[in-house]
Structure 1
Amino acid sequence: MSHGKIREDKTCLNCGHVVEERFCPHCGQENVEPKQPFHYLFTHFIEDFTHYDGQFWKTIKYLLFRPGKLTKEYLAGKRQLYVAPVKLYIFISFITFFLPSLFSGSEEEMNNDSKKTHASQEIEKEKKKEQIAQFTDSLTQGLKEAQLKAKKPKTSKDLKLTQVNGNDIETDVIDETADGKIGVLGAKTMKQFDSISHKNNNKAVYSYFRPFAKKIFYLQEKGLSQDEIFDRFTNTFLHTLPKALFIYLPVFAFFLWLFHNKKRWWYFDHGIFTLHYFSFLLLGTLIFILLSELMALLPDFGMFTLLSIFIYFVATIYMCIYFFIAHHSVYETRKRTSIFKGSILFLINTFGVLIMFLILLYVSFMTMH
């Protein structure tokens, strides 16, 4: 119930009917003052969603520990006791999207503070290290070229390739350079990458990895380290995950529709099941994020490490078998039939989600900035 101040005037501002109590019997609007304190915006949102009557918490409890219960109740017409499926999914998606940004923001602030503290002392050291490293690299490169010319004469094409790459073409796609940066196919910069690709016969490989190389070198030119690039990629991936799952919702429901009786189960019914199941997956992801942040605060003892591994293992197994339990509960088929259909659906959707994640990984990486 809202704590907004009730108007003395009993005429509804929305429809003009007389309001005897708190809510208008005609349109349902609450008869409160139109102007409220600023904090009312936030408290009203929370109250409106949770209702403080147990609706929200009851929904979360059933979603986590009673697989399929919410779907059965909703399809049976009991819809006022729980949060609506679409509203539930959007709210959990928002929290899953918003929470990682808070953690990453706090971590970046801590890192920035520590960097500023030592910046004045480290700048001169880094400059000296870079000068020494450049001199050493140039000297080493000159010695290698002299040895190659003396011992093993090669064509001009091979010499140029060796001079640019310094390695065999069978190099790692992603590796760490001597200065601690990320190298792609033996190249340290985009100019070097293009130069190697032009001189190599296997141009398809370089064409395929060129967007990745361009993004990595661009981020490194902005001064980002390996860890910072990885953190940005992880955050971008987590932010995109709810959107990708939302796009896959109708596909998941379509596969359910294919494997069940069309007369008894409508596509709408499968959509409700999918919304609840995906809400659980997002909530599970959110719990994993919270657990990882909590475990990071604990001392690095063997007992805590074993405990965290055990918790992650149990949670992962539960998230895998959740679908089978929910599927059997909602569709009420025999156990063997339910396990058979559930297994096929699980494999098909695992493959579909895997493809979606590969696309998501590519999009997440390419949209980093």
Structure 2
Amino acid sequence: MSHGKLRDDKSCLNCGHLVEERFCPHCGQENVQPKQPFYYLFTHFIEDFTHYDGQFWKTIKYLLFRPGKLTKEYLAGKRQAYVAPVKLYIFISFITFFLPSLLPSSEEKKETNDIYTLDTKEREKANKEQIAKILDSIGIENNNTQIPKEAINDLKVSIVNDNDSKTDVLEETRDGKLMILGAENMKQFDSLYSKSGNSRLPFDFVRPFAKKAFHLQEQGLNKEQIFDKFSETFVHTLPKALFIYLPVFAFFLWIFHNKKKWWFFDNGIFTLHYFSFLLLGILIIIILSELLSLLPDYSVFNILSILTSTVAIVYMFIYFFIAHHRVYENSRGISVIKGISLFIINFLALLCMLLLLVYTSFRMMH
């Protein structure tokens, strides 16, 4: 309930009708003073969304623990007691991708001092010896300062290409720089690509990512900062992608059910409620993970974190089948068959969308 000061004038500012109490019986506008303190903007937003009469919390309770309940109530016409589906989805999307940025995170990072194994060190030593032999064979002393650095780098690339045909896609050099398919910069990457022969497919796929990663590295970013920027870009792009996928998900539901009984609108309401639940579940997992990351690095806390995330993911998986069965009222067997089919189709479609999102997010980084 709003705490704005009531006007002495009983005529509604919106429609001119007589207002006996706080709200106009004709248009529903509250008859309060039009000028309010600045903080009223925020309190009014919260009051308008939650109503403080249990509407918001009742909606959240049903959304989390009563699969399909909100959809059945809405389609039955019982809508005043709950937050509208679109409004609910937008609000949960906002808090899901805004609230985690406000949470404290542990600044302690695990240091990997043993980045290079014995085999790697031995390979570096062998490479240096091989470079020395090549330089000596062409009459150049190894300590000659006139040798261009680019020539030495190209020589290293050639040796790496010969000695390491199974290079990991992403590694890290001793000084913390990125190494992608054995290359430390785009010139080395292109040199490796030209020497790869028939095995160029990994280079073709990785090249756009390598170009962006090396560009960011040249700007002074290290490996951790590059991944942080990618995560930030991905998180900001994900809500848009999910919103775009909403009608696709509803379309698949429409295909699998009686089109005379279940209109596309009905499937859209189910989709909005289910996606709202998924986003809220993701938010809960993020918050719990962040809180558990602040605890000491003991095995019991790590097990607790993994167990909590696993239970949440399993529940999110089962939730769809329960909600689908309750809303569409098919027999359990038919509901399970349709549910599994829908789950597989949407999983593949979402996977393709997420791969495209990963590619787009990385290319959008700056």
TM interval, short-chain normalised: 0.7 to 0.9
Q: Give the residue type in structure 2 aligned to 1:298.
A: L
Alignment match, 1:164: 157
The more displaced of 332-341 and 10-19 is 10-19
Query: Larger helix proportion, structure 1 or 2?
Result: 1
* In the alignment, structure 1 residue 242 sits paired with structure 2 residue 220: no
How big is the shift at 1:148? 4.6
How big is the shift at 1:160? 9.3
Q: Give the residue type in structure 2 aligned to 1:219.
A: L
Distance 2:134 2:64 in 1: 66
Instruction: Please give the residue correspondences for 1:96-115 in structure 2 after superposition, counting only pairs within 5 Å.
Output: 96-103=96-103
Alignment match, 1:54: 54
Alignment match, 1:230: 227
* In the alignment, structure 1 residue 259 sits paired with structure 2 residue 252: no
Distance 1:328 1:232 in 2: 41
Instruction: Please give the residue correspondences for 1:205-224 in structure 2 after superposition, counting only pairs within 5 Å.
Output: 205-224=202-221
With over 3 angstroms needed to count, the CA separation of the structure-2 counterparts of 1:221 and 1:29, relative to structure 1, is: same
Are 1:100 and 1:235, in contact at CA under 8 Å, matched by a contact in 2? no
Distance 1:253 1:99 in 2: 28
Distance 1:294 1:206 in 2: 40
Q: Give the residue type in structure 2 aligned to 1:92.
A: I
Alignment match, 1:154: none
* In the alignment, structure 1 residue 293 sits paired with structure 2 residue 290: yes
With over 3 angstroms needed to count, the CA separation of the structure-2 counterparts of 1:304 and 1:163, relative to structure 1, is: closer
Q: Give the residue type in structure 1 aligned to 2:173.
A: T
Are 1:242 and 1:282, in contact at CA under 8 Å, matched by a contact in 2? no
Alignment match, 2:306: 309
Report the 3-state secondary structure (helix = DSSP H, G, I; strand = E; otherwise coil) of the residue aligned with 1:175: strand
Distance 1:14 1:91 in 2: 27
* In the alignment, structure 1 residue 326 sits paired with structure 2 residue 319: no
How big is the shift at 1:183? 1.1
Q: Give the residue type in structure 2 aligned to 1:171.
A: T
How big is the shift at 1:147? 2.6
In structure 2, runs of 5+ residues without a counterpart are: 109-123, 138-151
Cα deviation code 1:144-178 (max 9, x no counterpart): 22435789xxxxxxx99644343125422222123
How big is the shift at 1:200? 4.3
Moved segments of 4+, more than 6 Å:
138-142
Distance 2:303 2:182 in 1: 39
Are 2:105 and 2:294, in contact at CA under 8 Å, matched by a contact in 1? no
Alignment match, 2:73: 73
1:194 to 190, 195, 200: 190
1:178 to 169, 174, 197: 174
The more displaced of 89-98 and 175-184 is 175-184
Q: In angstroms, what is the RMSD of aligned CA positions?
A: 2.6
The more displaced of 161-170 and 359-368 is 161-170
Give the alignment's TM-score, normalised by structure 1.
0.84
The more displaced of 254-263 and 307-316 is 307-316
